[in-house]
Amino acid sequence: MIQIRTAAASDGEQIYQLHLRAFGGRKEESELVERIRVSDGYVPELSLVAVEEETGEVVGHALISKAAVYDLDQPTEVLVLAPIGVDPAYQRQGIGGHLIREGLSRAEALGFKLVLLIGHPSYYPRFGFEPAGLHGLVLMQFVVPDEVFMVRELAPGELVRMRDERKGTVGELKYPQTFFA
Ligand SMILES: CC(C)(COP(=O)(O)OP(=O)(O)OC[C@H]1O[C@@H](n2cnc3c(N)ncnc32)[C@H](O)[C@@H]1OP(=O)(O)O)[C@@H](O)C(=O)NCCC(=O)NCCS
């Protein structure tokens, strides 16, 4: 059985190794998790692990942390989902989906209003994510195809509210410096 729970400090090494496996041996995502964990944007309840109950092995991890959408110089706090990884031996069993749904539900309960991400356009729409560009949001820090930049409302009406406040101009998602260090 797989259990989803809040990541503990003692899970750090297992989470690092898990992302190495999930991302085919590259270190970027593992190191990103370590940097976010010691940053201002870290929300402990939104770092979730999927654990094999019998062995205690971490087989999945999703991290949702703080970023901001800027209208000129005015920031609005939002969340970003990155990274998420599931051990290749455990993929396509619904674990990624459980981590995402639990993360979104916790984020909503904590009062956050929007979650953005860069990800597979065939995967995230099932969790309610839509192309962010449709809502007047742009991403300048990374050059990516439009359809991989997605947003999910946690508070109904938030996207319209933000757009009205900007008087129809674009809002730019800026990932914190933590993502680039
Ligand atoms: C993406 C990932 C987290 C999904 O976790 P998971 O536990 O396998 O996902 P679920 O079981 O909830 O959902 C399975 C569905 O995910 C989709 N999916 C999985 N990997 C995908 C990929 N690389 N591209 C597009 N869709 C993918 C498939 O549609 C699959 O559905 P299917 O079995 O009907 O084909 C996992 O595959 C992973 O760790 N991949 C490597 C790391 C990665 O790419 N992370 C995400 C970066 S955006």
Q: Could you report the per-residue pLDDT of 116-148, keeping only the tens digit for each?
A: 999 999 999 999 999 999 999 999 999 999 999
Full domain range(s) for residue 160: 2-179
Of the pLDDT bands very low, low, confident and very high (cuts 50, 70, 90), residue 174 is very high
Instruction: Give me the pLDDT at residue 137, please.
Output: 97
Ligand 1: residues within 6 Å at CB? 22-23, 84-86, 91-97, 119-120, 122-123
Q: In 131-155, which positions are buried (b, 16+ CB within 10 angstroms) versus exposed (e)?
A: bbeebbbebeeeeeeeebbbbbbbe
Instruction: Give me the pLDDT at residue 101, please.
Output: 98
Of the pLDDT bands very low, low, confident and very high (cuts 50, 70, 90), residue 181 is confident
- CATH assignment at residue 19: 3.40.630.30
A 10 A CB-CB count for 96 gives: 20
pLDDT at 150 over 90: yes
Instruction: Give me the pLDDT at residue 168, please.
Output: 84
Q: What is the pLDDT averaged over residues 78-82?
A: 98
> How does strand 74-86 pair with strand 130-131?
unpaired
Cα–Cα distance, 21 to 84 (Å, whole number): 12
131, 173 contact by CB (below 8 A): no
24-60 pLDDT tens trace: 999 999 999 999 999 999 999 999 999 999 999 999 9
Q: Write down the pTM of the prediction.
A: 0.96
Ligand 1 atom 5 nearest Cα = 96
Instruction: Give me the pLDDT at residue 14, please.
Output: 98
Atom of ligand 1 nearest to the CA of 93: 11
139, 118 contact by CB (below 8 A): yes
* Amino acid letter, residue 81: L
Q: How many domains does the chain have?
A: 1
Ligand 1 atom 35 nearest Cα = 92
User: What proportions of the chain, in percent to the nearest 5, are helix, strand and coil?
Assistant: 35, 30, 30
Q: What is the pLDDT averaged over residues 162-171?
A: 90
Mutate to test the pocket of ligand 1, among 59, 91, 104, 142 (most ligand atoms within 8 A of CB): 91
